[in-house]
Amino acid sequence: MQDPHNHGGHRHHVHKHHHHPHGLEPHDAHSKVAGGDRPHTPSYLQPPPPAAGGAQLDSGSDDPSLPQSRSDQDKEYVGFATLPNQVHRKSVKKGFDFTLMVAGESGLGKSTLVNSLFLTDLYKDRKLLNAEERITQTVEITKHTVDIEEKGVKLKLTIVDTPGFGDAVNNTECWKSVADYIDQQFEQYFRDESGLNRKNIQDNRVHCCLYFISPFGHGLRPLDVEFMKALHEKVNIVPVLAKADTLTPSEVKKKKIKIREEIEQYGIKIYQFPDCDSDEDEEFKQQDLELKESIPFAVIGSNTVVEAKGKRVRGRLYPWGIVEVENSAHCDFVKLRNMLVRTHMQDLKDVTRETHYENYRAQCIQSMTRMVVKERNRKYAHQELTFSKNLPGSSAVQFLYPRLSHLLRIAP
| The residue count for the chain | 412
Confirm if 156 and 145 have CB atoms less than 8 A apart. Answer: yes
In this predicted structure, the answer to whether residue 10 has a pLDDT above a threshold of 60 is no
Eight-state DSSP code of residue 273? P
Work out the mean pLDDT of the chain and round it to a whole number: 75
DSSP 10-22: EE----SS----T
Eight-state DSSP code of residue 353? I
Q: What is the pLDDT of residue 225?
A: 92
Query: 98 - beta bridge partners?
Result: 157
What number is the average pLDDT over the span 351-377?
A: 87
Eight-state DSSP code of residue 47? P
CA 18 – CA 179 distance, rounded (Å): 61
Q: What is the pLDDT of residue 129?
A: 58
Long-range contacts at 3-10 (CB < 8 A, ≥ 24 apart): 3/29, 3/32, 3/33, 5/29, 8/70, 9/70, 9/73, 9/74
Q: What is the pLDDT of residue 302?
A: 84
pLDDT band of 303, cuts 50, 70, 90: confident
Percent of the chain topping pLDDT 70: 66
In this predicted structure, the answer to whether residue 179 has a pLDDT above a threshold of 60 is yes
For residue range 122-177, what is the model confidence (pLDDT) as tens digits?
656 666 555 555 555 556 788 888 888 877 788 888 889 887 777 666 677 788 88
Q: What is the pLDDT of residue 7?
A: 46
CA 226 – CA 256 distance, rounded (Å): 19
Q: What is the pLDDT of residue 262?
A: 93
Q: What is the pLDDT of residue 12?
A: 44
CA 256 – CA 270 distance, rounded (Å): 14
Q: What is the pLDDT of residue 341?
A: 83
Q: What is the pLDDT of residue 396?
A: 53
Identify the top-confidence range among 37-41, 115-119, 265-269. Answer: 265-269
Conformation bin of residue 295: beta by default, left when phi > 0, alpha when psi is -120 to 50: beta
Q: What is the pLDDT of residue 116?
A: 82
pLDDT band of 111, cuts 50, 70, 90: confident
Long-range contacts at 352-356 (CB < 8 A, ≥ 24 apart): 352/205, 352/206, 352/207, 352/235, 352/236, 353/205, 356/186, 356/205, 356/233, 356/234, 356/235, 356/236
In this predicted structure, the answer to whether residue 239 has a pLDDT above a threshold of 50 is yes
Give the residue with greater pLDDT, 170 vs 6: 170
Give the residue with greater pLDDT, 87 vs 141: 141
Give the residue with greater pLDDT, 83 vs 3: 83
Window from 66-75, 150-159, 294-303, 342-351 with minimum mean pLDDT = 66-75
In this predicted structure, the answer to whether residue 314 has a pLDDT above a threshold of 80 is yes
CA 145 – CA 203 distance, rounded (Å): 13
Give the residue with greater pLDDT, 308 vs 216: 216
In this predicted structure, the answer to whether residue 30 has a pLDDT above a threshold of 80 is no
What structural domains does the chain harbor?
A: 90-366 (3.40.50.300)
Give the global pTM. Answer: 0.68
Give the residue with greater pLDDT, 9 vs 307: 307
Give the residue with greater pLDDT, 309 vs 383: 309
Give the residue with greater pLDDT, 248 vs 376: 248
In this predicted structure, the answer to whether residue 37 has a pLDDT above a threshold of 50 is no
In this predicted structure, the answer to whether residue 27 has a pLDDT above a threshold of 60 is no
Q: What is the pLDDT of residue 387?
A: 59
For residue range 195-224, what is the model confidence (pLDDT) as tens digits?
777 777 888 899 999 999 999 888 899 889
